[in-house]
Amino acid sequence: MNKVLLLGGTGFVGRHVCEKLARLDWQITVPTRRTSQAQHLQHLPRLEVVAADVHDEAALAQLVRGHDAVVNLVAILHGTAAAFKRTHVELPAKLARACLANGVPRLVHVSALGAEPTAADTAPSLYLRSKSRGEAVLQAAARDGLQLTVLRPSVIFGAGDRFLNLFARLQRVFPVMPLAGAQARFQPVWVEDVAQAIVHCLRDPATIGQTYEACGPDIFTLKQLVQLAGRYSGLRHARPVIPLPMALGRLQAGLMEWLPGQPLMSRDNLDSLRIDNMASGRLPGLAALGITPAALGAIAPDYLGQNDRYVTLRGQYRRP
């Protein structure tokens, strides 16, 4: 039996990975600060939820011990420079040290399109610069023996996502959609395909030392994705999408940052839109892992139109 430690296992991608590993009879450990966040995983066989702070290096070393592999899915989209550094740079560094010190050299790390170790100082946003530095830290550890595989997904869609669902719900509230970065391009990838890629990497030693770009088959502008989200969610009348100049978009995002809770959009998100979120063509993709990625149009209409009727604007489920 294989044993895997899954950091970020309670999240959107993590639950899909847990389900796939459970079907393979793997033993899964999911650490979380609050075990209540893992209730949706408790039914899975051979899965153990552990209350722990993964940022505590001593606790992380204890968690890693005895496992065959580790998957790191921990990430944030919003925050200060310090928060991005803590999550995307310091945590991978602690994880690499813990793995190497405890004889667990296998690590699958989920990064992001646009991240590149050589771009740690030049990427346009705090998010991408921190993701790039995190990869650089892990590549250095790989030279010391860490058996590393990196996945760089585009924006991930699927039932319960906080991307297409957000745009669908905004269009149910507002008569028009003012949109900064409207021409930024994306290559959205289905969450099931990303989860399958992670599992494949865990099972196939040939993926060690590789970096893969996880993208769907189609490219869309942000404006097109907003329009599709409205159409797939069943809106009778399309909401006009009004492209905003970047300066006005930054003002809008700055105001959103002052709202309570996680912002719907931040200025750092807009900075990330300065580069397209699509495959570079320089690295292997999902096809190299034996995966034919699903098209957005084959998946999104079902969950936007039916399955997620009770998701709020901030992505939290509520019952009717």
pLDDT per residue as tens digits for the range 257-275: 887 777 778 999 999 999 9
Domain ranges of the chain: 3-153, 157-186+218-277+294-307
HSE-CB at 133 with a 13 A cutoff on CA atoms is: 19
More confident residue, 38 or 206: 206
Q: Does the structure show a pLDDT above 70 at 87?
A: yes
- Give the model's pLDDT for residue 20: 97
Contact partners, residue 290, CB within 8 Å, separation at least 6: 200
Statement: residue 208 has pLDDT above 80: yes
Pair 236, 45: CB distance under 8 Å = no
pLDDT at position 283 is: 97
pLDDT band at residue 319 under the 50/70/90 scheme? very low
Indicate the angle between helix axes 91-101 and 57-64, nearest 10 degrees. 50
DSSP 266: -
Q: Which is more confidently placed, 310 or 36?
A: 36
Mean residue pLDDT across the chain: 92
- What pLDDT does residue 310 have? 40
Give the model's pLDDT for residue 320.
30
How would you label 264-290 residue by residue, b for 16+ Cβ within 10 Å and e otherwise? bbbbbbbbbbebbbbbeeeeebbeebe
Quickly state the pLDDT bin for 317 (edges 50, 70, 90).
very low
What pLDDT does 306 receive?
A: 67
Confidence check: pLDDT of 65 > 70: yes
**Taking residues 119-143, what's their average pLDDT?**
97
- Strand (E) or helix (H) holding 214: strand 211-214
Is CATH 3.40.50.720 the classification given to domain 3-153?
yes
Amino acid 215: pLDDT: 98
State the average pLDDT over residues 294-319.
66
What percent of the chain shows pLDDT beyond 90? 80
* Mean pLDDT value across residues 12-21: 97
Question: What separation in angstroms does the CA of 57 have from each of 35, 54, 91, 93, 299?
Answer: 20, 7, 9, 10, 40
DSSP tag of 106 = E
